[in-house]
Amino acid sequence: MQLIINGEKKESGAKSIQALLDELGIESKVMAAAVNMNVVKKELWESYELSENDKVEFLQFVGGGA
């Protein structure tokens, strides 16, 4: 299925957020996930079903400052 992941169109066979993270190999870096601008709690990543053309954003928090 076609997904938009962090602004890039990609083809994926993943059916859930967790499966997509596994497919991309970035699970340990991700702190939050949003689908179509709605934040999905981490405990729902395994069961949340993705659909064609969903816009998925994976966020990681970075420390810093001056």
Q: Does residue 39 sit within a domain? A: yes
Q: What is the CATH number of the domain that holds 13?
A: 3.10.20.30
Q: Does residue 66 sit within a domain? A: no
Look at residue 49 in the predicted model and tell me its pLDDT.
97
Q: Does residue 50 sit within a domain? A: yes
Range of the domain at 43: 2-59
How many structural domains does the chain have? 1
Spatial CB neighbours of 33, under 8 Å, sequence gap ≥ 6: 17, 21, 39, 40, 42, 45, 56, 57, 58, 59
Q: Tell me the pTM.
A: 0.86
Tens of pLDDT, residue by residue over 1-48, are 999 999 999 999 999 999 999 999 987 878 899 999 999 999 999 999
Look at residue 28 in the predicted model and tell me its pLDDT.
80
Q: Does residue 32 sit within a domain? A: yes
Closest CA to 3 of 55, 46, 57: 55
Q: How far apart are CA 66 and CA 16, in angstroms?
A: 38
pLDDT above 80 for 62: no
Other CB atoms within 10 A of residue 38 CB: 8
